[in-house]
Amino acid sequence: MTMPTRRIGPYTVSAIGLGCMNLSHAYGTPPSEADAAALLNRALDLGVTFLDTAALYGGGSNEALIGRTVMHRRAEFTLASKCVLDLVDGKRVLDGSPAAIARTLDAALVRLGTEHIDLYYMHRLDPDVPIEESVGALVRAKEAGKIGAIGLSEMSADTLRRAQAVHPIAAMQTEYSPMVRNAEIAVLDACRAQGTAFVAFSPLARGMLAGGVTDDAYAAGDIRAMMPRFTGANLAHNLGMFARFQALAEAAGRTPGQLALGWVLARGDHIVAIPGTRSIRHLEENVAAATMPVDDALFAAIDAIYAPGAIAGVRYAPAMQAQIDTELLPEEQAG
């Protein structure tokens, strides 16, 4: 099918891409390689032209998966990956030094089986390394032909402006959905003003807005078990809100996931959404959402459900939040 497109730096990509993390990382036991390969290739068949991975995901195994399963179709998609966050000797490491960025990039190129990554993000801001130094390392990688464009992830509007002073930033990737609105504080508008694409990860709120969360009996290794919004009384409250959202979607003739994706894309023509899934059926539903408009009445109804302060629980536990540079909502600061 022909999907609507958006711009990321020099690239034209499908308005809905594919976040590949959960094929190798973060949500319990990953699918088999055969199932993952089938999903990745089906995404390309459906017109998805933007695949997003990272060195962190599965300790490089997600990049290697893409290298083995779809790089024979390299001309059909824009490839994005990330550095700064990595697994070193089995431990999660945050290192934005130029040397670490160069090492992570070179290893990624080997795993992916390519000499060039189209869009390369800093996965997080390293507070011990000036953003200018980290971006400088990526500029050198671009000059060497190893990457095509530079991106940032989970960073603030101020950090974006500092990075932009060194080199144009093609994309900012941050969580954004009807349920998670931090980007609306400053960075969404900053991206629009500076010509930077905004890449919305977890546009389905880690499965919540697709009906994929019903309780907190998560499988071993599922990161939602450590997220305050997805456990205990907070989850019970948030599921009650989702029930209202689901009813709204059904009345509008679409799945709740499709309503969430339509909402995200309608927030600006500089936004690209990258939902992740392990289900081909859900993949097909997600792709269909690209052509399902959200009108003003639906916008108002969604905002009435997910009004400021309505969600129970903060986005990340303190240890994870310490690595996040994005702006905080008032209720998160109070927490």
Q: Is 57 a catalytic residue?
A: yes
Alpha carbon separation from 48 to 117, 194, 197, 284 (Å, rounded):
17, 26, 17, 10
- Scanning the chain, the segments in alpha helix (DSSP H) are 33-45, 61-69, 98-112, 131-143, 157-166, 187-194, 232-251, 256-266, 280-288, 296-305, 318-321, 330-334
For the chain, state the CA radius of gyration.
Answer: 19
Alpha carbon separation from 109 to 105, 147, 212, 329 (Å, rounded):
6, 10, 33, 37
Residues 6+ apart with CB under 8 A from 217: none
Place of tokens 């960025």: 101
The strand pairing partners of 119, in sequence order, are 80, 149
- Comparing CA positions, the residue from 6, 129, 124 lying closest to residue 54 is 124
Tokens of 284: 């097909």
Considering the candidates 57, 120, 121, 176, report the single residue annotated as catalytic. 57
* 3-state SS assignment for residue 33: helix
**Could you list the active site residues?**
57
